[in-house]
Structure 1
Amino acid sequence: MESIKIKKATEQDIDRLQLIGKQTFAETFSSENSEENMREYLEKEFSIEKLKSELTDENSEFYFAKLDNETIGYLKINIGQSQTEIKGTNSLEIERIYVLREFYGKKVGQILYYKAIEIAKGNNVDYVWLGVWEQNLRAIRFYEKNGFVEFNKHVFVLGEDEQTDIMMKLKLN
């Protein structure tokens, strides 16, 4: 088996990004959410217009995890004013790390995570932060294993449903 490669996404990758984004989000959360809320969220958050504006934002970056030329996961990071909540210049937000379910347990998420940390260190930020759904215990354990600690909570709206995200951070400096 070939090794997993990380490739920065560009505007030319918008269709692939939309596909992997919708597929991984649906695989991760469909069983715990209504079909209607999922459909509304996926159409809004992964619309071509929204993805295009995110891909052209100089403070946001997407990276694909690729295996044998197949996209199997992706990472989205934000710095500066593009962070969804904490707008401090000394932090980096991991907005998304998603992996196709069939590749769970194969260290794909860890490889994408290491890429985010590499970028954070390259930007000389003090800490990395993220929000994770309180019911996504698998992800919470992953981030705790990587040294993240809870520091707050915030509301995440999925369709009509208000959910609680745990905000976690990792101090780098």
Structure 2
Amino acid sequence: MTLSADIRAATQQDIALIQRLGRETFYETFAASNSEADMQQYLEEHFSESRVTEEVNTLCSQFFIAYWDHVPVGYLKLNWSAEQTELQDEDALEIERIYVKSSHQGNRIGQALFEKALQQAKSTAKHYVWLAVWEKNEKAIRFYEKNGFQAFDKHSFQLGSDKQVDIMMKKLII
């Protein structure tokens, strides 16, 4: 029997789970390339219970959780309309976060989350999907390029005291 990811829309009952997954996957992804102080500051600011509760309750954002063999292993956060972090284009859907625990990477869970984002974009008649990815996250950049994204701009991203550069990428929906 081959396992596959089960993707479910998150609810208010999932706030603590999203908070935990967010902290864990962000730390796994970026701790080796950033100072511990910057990482802890970012995690406290962006994955506090109040912040995650506010995000889950936002009308123009939605979280999805990926389960592998009934265990939560990743998540996706989408934004549209004025909730988009940068463009705020009514014709666009933003993938703000797509993370999978390192222990489960390679099982196509990130791909399943990405496909859920495309499905949401198509079902809401968006013209394109966009995201921002750290310029030093080569693995993620390759993943997005493989999935048809193209770079179109850059913006600054603050991680603790470190100002970093994100590459903004988009994919047209056909």
Aligned to 1:34: 35
User: Matched residues, percent identical?
Assistant: 48
The AA in structure 2 aligned to 1:21 is: G
TM-score scaled by length of structure 1: 0.98
TM-score scaled by length of structure 2: 0.97
Structure 2 distance, partners of 1:74, 1:172, is 22
Deviation at 1:91, TM superposition (A): 0.2
Is 1:22 equivalent to 2:15 in the alignment? no
Report SS of the residue matched to 1:153: strand
Aligned to 1:7: 8
Deviation at 1:8, TM superposition (A): 0.8
The AA in structure 2 aligned to 1:165 is: D
Deviation at 1:4, TM superposition (A): 1.5
Structure 2 distance, partners of 1:167, 1:4, is 27
In structure 2, runs of 5+ residues without a counterpart are none
Structure 1 distance, partners of 2:124, 2:14, is 25
Is 1:169 equivalent to 2:138 in the alignment? no
Deviation at 1:172, TM superposition (A): 1.1
User: After superposition, where does 1:74-153 map in structure 2 within 5 Å?
Assistant: 74-153=75-154
Aligned to 1:47: 48
Deviations 1:71-90 (A, max 9, x none): 00000000000000001100
In structure 1, runs of 5+ residues without a counterpart are none
The AA in structure 1 aligned to 2:42 is: Y
Structure 2 distance, partners of 1:56, 1:38, is 25
Runs of 4+ deviating beyond 3 Å? none
The AA in structure 1 aligned to 2:166 is: D
Aligned to 2:73: 72
Structure 1 distance, partners of 2:11, 2:81, is 20
Structure 2 distance, partners of 1:2, 1:135, is 31
Structure 2 distance, partners of 1:116, 1:107, is 14
The AA in structure 2 aligned to 1:95 is: E
Report SS of the residue matched to 1:72: strand
> What is the aligned residue count?
173
Deviations 1:123-156 (A, max 9, x none): 1011100000000000000000000000000000
